[in-house]
Chain A
Amino acid sequence: MNFHALLDFGPLQQEFGTIMKAFWGTIRLALVTGVGSMIFGTVLAAMRVSPTPVLRAAGALYVYIFRNTPLTLILLFCSLGLSDTLHLQISDEPGTNGFWLAAIGMTIYTASFVCESLRAGINTVPIGQAEAARSIGLTFSQSLRLVVLPQAFRAVVAPLGSVYIAMIKNTTIALAAGYFEASAQMKQMFDTYGGTIPIFVGFAVGFMVLTLPTGFFFGWLSKRLAVAR
């Protein structure tokens, strides 16, 4: 009988520095993916609502492909396909290279969800709003800038928050692409110390520290910005 091991938080203390470094890897990847997928997702959403059928079709095709492919497959494709087979080198340093490959894979995947949230946000704006804007003589850019987008962005905050929370949790899958972040560190500690409850709880709390405030922030923002309609 060795009850001591059940509640032994020792490993977490011993490796505190490494764990923090691993979580920093998670945060770094999440930040880069967040910015990248926001930019790329906005471009895709613009394509999907454009008056050009070709762009609309291309945007829709992209979303259909990448939203329905498992992230694990995309990340593996980035590391095994892009890097090892096609010899795509972003940096000579293997660590940096791995980081950017994971960030590319995460961005490709997340952008399709960002695009769908933004598009759905644009669709929440009643058509009467745009018609009213046109009827008082606003130009296209004015009606977009002053009437449609301000309302669309507000409707988008909450779904976008959900997308970003899922993205933070998805960074764990980057270990399939060989990127070292928190879940890889947890796996390593499981291999060394065994899968004890304290280690699991430690990492779970670590992730909750990242996801819960993100949720509260977006929730607060969306309530603050909500359009009374």
Chain B
Amino acid sequence: MTMTDTQDAPARRPTKNKPSVLFDAPGPRARLRNNILTLVAAVVLLVVAYLLIARLSQQHQFEGKLWEPFTRKIVWTRQILPGLGGTLKAAGVAAVFALLMGVIFGLGRLSEHKWISVPSGAVVEFFRAIPLLIMIFFAQAGPPAIMDSFGRVLPPVSGFLALVIGLTLYNGSVLAEIFRSGINSIPKGQSEAGYSIGMRRSGVMLRILVPQAITAMMPAVISQLVVLLKDTALGYIIAYPDLLSAGLRVIPGNFGNIIPSAIVIAVIYIIINILLGLVATWLEKRSRRSRKSSARTLTGGTGLPPAVGMGSAAPTI
């Protein structure tokens, strides 16, 4: 769901004296009004910030002993970093399998053979329409129950495996749609040119469409990987030891500092996601400049495939 901030092309941004869609370049009166508005807004925001901080300090949330654990090396080496490792491991493994699934089902859905494209489409739409969490629950509880009815005993599925399976199925089907729209975004003339010089369908796909589509869809793929990373936090619910479990279960369990701990953990997530987002934006700028691909670059916003029923109505945002 994450959309990268690619819309603020400098010209669009309502900077001080430039006109925007909504506001004309301000004259003297408008400037005065804007300055007054700025002042009022600043006061209101400061009051809101004060109320928040007052509430927190009234509940003794700024006491040193609640924040002190985060200055200790052992809290980082024993809890936060292993937690972060767990998050990155699950995200990394799931990302690899999701990309694989995305390629297979994305290409499958583009197939000319109905017996391949229809089932591929059904799988993709099914997994995109249901919540990730119930897939994770089923990945954990399903296999033992199913094997049980065959009279076999299966050890319970580990949290890691359940999380990876769920993340793979969900993000894999979203990626499949990204791949499909990436291939579809290439002008028809490209494949026609390929056919006209006698290439086969597979050759056109592999040598003409896929290389160009990869450039175009990279930003959208990275955006989806940010979503995947954020979704690993669901591991908390099935007791997988990830960053969120470390920050909201283990550390507060030891020090009773749930609010400071939640804030620190949130900051870590935000930094990682913003870094990944920057990679996406950079890739997008690069592929926009590049003349190697004839496809329109899919941004995080446009690249996200529309949900079922939305058809091709995705607007050019």
- Stretch of B77-85, B93-101, B193-201, B228-236 at the chain-chain interface: B228-236
The yes or no answer to B110 lying at the interface (CB within 8 A) is no
Question: Which chain A residues lie closer than 8 Å to B232 at the CB level?
Answer: 70
Annotate A147-182 by CB proximity to B: 1 below 8 A, 0 otherwise.
010000001101101110110011111011000001
The yes or no answer to B270 lying at the interface (CB within 8 A) is yes
Annotate B11-45 by CB proximity to A: 1 below 8 A, 0 otherwise.
01010100111111010001000100110011001
The yes or no answer to A14 lying at the interface (CB within 8 A) is no
* Closest Cβ–Cβ distance, residue B169 to chain A (whole Å): 12
- Stretch of A33-41, A74-82, A92-100 at the chain-chain interface: A74-82
Contact B55 A125 (CB under 8 A): no
Question: Which chain B residues lie closer than 8 Å to A71 at the CB level?
Answer: 230, 233
The yes or no answer to B205 lying at the interface (CB within 8 A) is no
Overall SS of chain A's interface: helix
Contact A127 B20 (CB under 8 A): yes
Contact A166 B244 (CB under 8 A): no
Contact B20 A173 (CB under 8 A): no
Contact A173-B1, Cβ < 8 Å, known A64-B274, A124-B315: no
Annotate B216-233 by CB proximity to A: 1 below 8 A, 0 otherwise.
000000000010001111
The yes or no answer to A122 lying at the interface (CB within 8 A) is yes
The number of inter-chain residue pairs (CB within 8 angstroms) is 263
A219 to B314, CA, bound (A): 9
A163 to B307, CA, bound (A): 10
Question: Which chain B residues lie closer than 8 Å to A6 at the CB level?
Answer: 146, 149
Question: Which chain B residues lie closer than 8 Å to A113 at the CB level?
Answer: 1, 3
Question: Which chain A residues lie closer than 8 Å to B59 at the CB level?
Answer: 85-87
Number of interface residues of B (CB under 8 A): 80
Q: Which of A193-216 contact B (CB under 8 A)?
A: 194-197, 200, 203-204, 207-208, 211-212, 214-216
Contact A72-B234, Cβ < 8 Å, known A49-B20, A163-B1: yes
Overall SS of chain B's interface: helix
* Closest Cβ–Cβ distance, residue A91 to chain B (whole Å): 19
Contact B131 A219 (CB under 8 A): no
* Closest Cβ–Cβ distance, residue B43 to chain A (whole Å): 10
Q: Which residue of chain B lies nearest to A70 when distances are taken between CB atoms in the complex?
A: B233
Contact A116 B22 (CB under 8 A): no
The yes or no answer to A65 lying at the interface (CB within 8 A) is yes
Contact B7 A123 (CB under 8 A): yes
A30 to B37, CA, bound (A): 35
A91 to B47, CA, bound (A): 26
Contact A200-B138, Cβ < 8 Å, known A68-B273, A216-B308: yes
A165 to B130, CA, bound (A): 10
A148 to B16, CA, bound (A): 20
Annotate B305-317 by CB proximity to A: 1 below 8 A, 0 otherwise.
0111111011111
12 contacts between A and B (CB under 8 A): A51-B14, A51-B26, A65-B270, A67-B2, A73-B233, A85-B258, A119-B7, A130-B20, A169-B131, A186-B134, A195-B138, A219-B310
- Residues of B in contact with A (beta carbons under 8 Å apart): 1-3, 7, 12, 14, 16, 19-24, 26, 30, 34, 37-38, 41-42, 45, 55-56, 59, 61, 126, 129-134, 137-138, 140-146, 148-151, 226, 230-234, 236-237, 244, 247-248, 252, 258-259, 262, 265-266, 269-270, 273-274, 277, 301, 304, 306-311, 313-317
Extra A-B contacts (4), CB below 8 Å, given A70-B244, A73-B247, A226-B315: A50-B37, A186-B137, A216-B308, A217-B309
